[in-house]
Structure 1
Amino acid sequence: MTAVAGPAGPVLVVGSGLLGTSIGLALRRHDVTVWLADVASEHVRTASGLGAGVPVPADASPALVVVAVPPDLLGPEVARALEEHPEAVVTDVGSVKTAPLAELREKRVAGLARYVGSHPMAGSERSGPLAGSASLFDGRPWAIAPHPGADPAAVAAVTALAELCGATPVRMTPEEHDLAVARTSHLPHLMSVLAAGRLAGAPAEHLALSGQGVRDVTRIAAGDPGLWQQIVSGNAAAVLRLLGEVRGDLDALISAIERDERDGVVDLLDRGVRGTLAIPGKHGGPPRPTESVFVAVPDHPGELARLFADAGEIGVNIEDVHIDHDPGRPVGLVELVVEESRAELLADSLESRNWVTHR
C-alpha cells in the first residue's frame, strides 16, 4: 500500500462531536499531532481521554484546520479559522457545501483560496465524542468540493486528510455535491422520517407485527432532529427539487392503486429495484449478486459469536448482517448476506454444524 503523506504540521479540529473526534482518532493512528477545540469543554475532555488529540494550546499555529460543527455554524467558524490562522489550509466536514461558501463570499472573507470544503460520507445515529471511532471513515467516500478559486495546494492537503483517515476522496463541485447528498442522504432520511412517523401512536397490536423490513426503513430516522433541520434548511433547493419528484411519483402511485392499474404499480416497483441495483457495491465497484441465508440463533450469550466463528471456518465472507428478534420465542433470526454463489455452501455447512437455516 502506498503511504499517504501527512500534513505539514499539526491539525486543529474545531468541534469534538462524532466527526471531529473520529477525525482526531483516525489521524492519531498515523501519529499526526491533533489539537482539539469546542465550545463545550467537556467534549474536548472526553475526546482527549479517548485519544483523539489534546486541547488546543494558546499559541497554536496549525497547518490544517478542520471545522466539524453544526451546519448553521459552518460559515462563521470557517471565517474565524481563516482569520486566526493565516498560514493554515481550512476545510469543513459539513453536509452542505454551497451555503457556507456563499456566506464566506458575501462577507468577503480574506484568504478564501485556502478554504476547500469537504464531506465524509460516514456517520451514525449516535452523536457526541463517545460515538467517535478511528475506523468511521475506512473505505467510505469523502467528497472534496473545491470552489474555482481554491489553491491547488489546499486541495491536495484536504485530499491527503481524507486518505489519512482511511476514506476514498471523490472530487466534485460544491453544487454537484449538494445535489448528490440530497439524493443519496437527505432525501432517504426524510423518507425514513415519514415512514417512522406513521408508527408513532400506532396501536400496540400493530407494532407487534414489526419485522426487519420496518426496522431497515426507519433506522436512520432516529437521527438528531435539530441537526437534520439545519441540514435540510441549508440544502433546501436541492432537497425541494427531489421532494417534488417524489411527490409526482406518490401521486402516480395513489392514482394507480385507486384505479387498480397494476401495470402502473409494477412500473414504480420496477424502478425501485433498478435503483437498488444502481447503488455501488463494496469498495465502489459494481454491485455483485447476493443472497440471504437466515439462521435461527438461540438468545444465549456466545451464540452469535459461535455463528460468526463457524461462518469464518467455512470460508464464506459475510457481506452484511441483520438481526431480527422473534417476540414469541427465545430465539433470534440472523440474516447473513453473502455472494449468491456461496449461499448454498454456507447454508449446507451451517446445517451440518446443527444450525437451523433457510434461504
Structure 2
Amino acid sequence: MNPTHLTGPILVLGSGLLGASIGLGLRAHGIDVVVSDPSPSAQAVAVDIGAGRALDAAQDLSPELVVVAAPPDVTASVVAGALQRYPSAVVVDIASVKVAVATELAEILGPDRQGMLERYVGTHPMAGREKSGPVAALGELFNSMPWVLCPSDVSSKHAVKVAHALAIDLNAVVFRFTPDEHDAAVALVSHLPQVMSSLVASRLQETPPHALSLAGNGLRDVTRIAASDPALWVQILGANAPKLLEIMQDVRADLDRLINTLRAPTAPGARLDLAQLMAEGNAGQTRIPGKHGGPAQQYTWLTVLVDDKPGQIARLLTEIGHIGVNVEDLRMDHSAGLQVGMVEISVLPSKRARLVEDLTERGWKVIL
C-alpha cells in the first residue's frame, strides 16, 4: 500500500530550512512538490537539492495543499493570499506561534471572507536545527518529532484530515491543541529554554579564553541553542510575548529567591533552601517524556575513554551491540590537552554492571 496519504501537487511557500525539508520529505514519497520563495537564490537552492520544482507564474496550478513556511511576521498575509489564489486548496502554516497568526489572518480576510477559514489549519512541527536555510534541509527532519495541529472552530474536517496527512507522510507524531494551549505550551518547552540559553551564553562574551578552556558538556548543553537565528527569534518572542512573560515573571521570582539565599549562604535555613531548589529542578526534569515520547525513565551513565582518531566511536558502539546492551543516549566530550575522547553512554541501570565488565574485558577504559 502507498505509504503516503497526500496525492499532490503540494505547494510550499517558503524554501528555508523547514520548507525545504518538507519538500524533501514529500518528494521521497514521490509526491509532486512545487516550491516558491521571495528570494530567487533560496528557491534555486531548494530546487537544486531536490525539494521540488520551481513555481511557474504562468502555470495554472491547482494544489491539493499549500504549506506556508514563511517567517512568523508575514505568515498571516501569505496564508490569506494562498486562500484567495487557490480556492480549492487546503492551506496550513507551520509558524511557531498560533494565536497571533490566527488573529491577524481573521483581520486581513475581514467579515466577508471568513468562509475561507474552513480551508485553513494552523500547525507547528516541533523540529529544527541551529543551522538555517535550504542548504541545511533534511528530508528526515520531522521523523518521530511532534507535529501540532491547531484547527480553529471553523476548520473543516477535510482540512484537518489533509493537515494530519501532511504530518503523517513526514513521519511525525501528531498532537492536537487549541491555538491558546499551543502557545502556552511552547512558551514553556521551547521559548523559555531559548531565552535562558541565550542569557547564559551572553555571559561568555568577555570571559577570558583560559576560563572557557575548562568548559565541559554542561555548558555546551545549556548554550547549544543560543546559536539560533536572532532574526527569527525576535519574531517568535514578540508574537508570543504574553505567554512567555507569565513564565519569565515566575523565573524572576525564583532567581530573586536564590539571590537572597546566596547573600547569606550560611544563614539558618539557607542550605535547606538551596537543596530544595535543586530538588525542585530534579522533580521537574523527571517529568520530561522519555525515549520515543513514553514515560520518563531513569537511566544510568558511564564514561568510556576512546582514542581521538577515526573509527573508534563506531568500534565502541559495535562492541556494545555485540554485548547485547541497548544505548539509550550518547554524548561526547574531549579531554583538555589530550588526544582522548570521553564517550558518555546511557543505559538501563540493570545493564550497567554487565556492560562495564564486558567492556573492561575487551580492553576499554571505563570511568565509573
Same fold (TM over 0.5): yes
Q: Superposed, which structure 2 residues align to 1:65-214 within 5 Å?
A: 65-108=66-109, 110=113, 111-214=116-219
**Which letter maps to 2:333?**
D
**Which letter maps to 1:281?**
G
Instruction: Report the Cα offset of residue 273 of structure 1.
Output: 0.7
Question: What's the secondary structure of 1:209's corresponding residue?
Answer: coil
Distance change >3 Å, CA 4–CA 244, structure 1 → 2:
farther
| 1:267 maps to 2:276 | yes
User: Are the aligned partners of 1:72 and 1:230 in contact in 2 as well (CA < 8 Å)?
Assistant: yes
Query: Unpaired runs of 5+ in structure 2?
Result: none
Instruction: Report the Cα offset of residue 3 of structure 1.
Output: 6.5
Q: How many Å separate the matches in 2 of 1:304 and 1:36?
A: 39
Instruction: Report the Cα offset of residue 8 of structure 1.
Output: 4.4
Q: How many Å separate the matches in 2 of 1:229 and 1:161?
A: 28
Q: How many Å separate the matches in 2 of 1:315 and 1:21?
A: 38
Instruction: Report the Cα offset of residue 29 of structure 1.
Output: 2.2
| 1:330 maps to 2:339 | yes
Q: How many Å separate the matches in 2 of 1:50 and 1:118?
A: 25
Question: What's the secondary structure of 1:335's corresponding residue?
Answer: strand
**Which letter maps to 1:118?**
T
For residues 332-353 of structure 1, the C-alpha deviation after alignment (integer angstroms, 9 at most, x for no partner) is: 1111112222222222222222
Q: How many Å separate the matches in 2 of 1:160 and 1:340?
A: 39
Question: What's the secondary structure of 1:116's corresponding residue?
Answer: strand
Point out the more displaced range, 204-213 or 313-322: 313-322
**Which letter maps to 1:344?**
A
For residues 263-290 of structure 1, the C-alpha deviation after alignment (integer angstroms, 9 at most, x for no partner) is: 1111111111111100011222101221
Instruction: Report the Cα offset of residue 117 of structure 1.
Output: 0.4
Q: How many Å separate the matches in 2 of 1:228 and 1:297?
A: 38
**Which letter maps to 1:41?**
P
Question: What's the secondary structure of 2:109's corresponding residue?
Answer: coil
Instruction: Report the Cα offset of residue 5 of structure 1.
Output: 4.8
Instruction: Report the Cα offset of residue 76 of structure 1.
Output: 1.1
Point out the more displaced range, 108-117 or 69-78: 108-117
Question: What's the secondary structure of 1:322's corresponding residue?
Answer: strand
Point out the more displaced range, 258-267 or 2-11: 2-11
Aligned length: 358
Point out the more displaced range, 338-347 or 198-207: 338-347
Question: What's the secondary structure of 1:107's corresponding residue?
Answer: helix
Find the partner of 2:294 among 275, 279, 285: 285
Q: How many Å separate the matches in 1 of 2:356 and 2:174?
A: 38
| 1:10 alignment partner in structure 2 | 9
Q: How many Å separate the matches in 2 of 1:201 and 1:306?
A: 40
Question: What's the secondary structure of 1:265's corresponding residue?
Answer: helix
Q: How many Å separate the matches in 2 of 1:108 and 1:122?
A: 30
Q: How many Å separate the matches in 1 of 2:344 and 2:25?
A: 31
Runs (4 or more) in structure 1 with deviation over 3 Å come to: 2-5
Q: Superposed, which structure 2 residues align to 1:333-352 within 5 Å?
A: 333-352=342-361
Q: How many Å separate the matches in 1 of 2:330 and 2:38?
A: 38
**Which letter maps to 1:28?**
R
Instruction: Report the Cα offset of residue 72 of structure 1.
Output: 1.0
Cα root mean square deviation, aligned: 1.4
**Percent identity of the aligned residues?**
46
Normalised to the residue count of structure 1, the TM-score between the two structures is 0.96
| 1:30 alignment partner in structure 2 | 29
User: Are the aligned partners of 1:142 and 1:170 in contact in 2 as well (CA < 8 Å)?
Assistant: yes
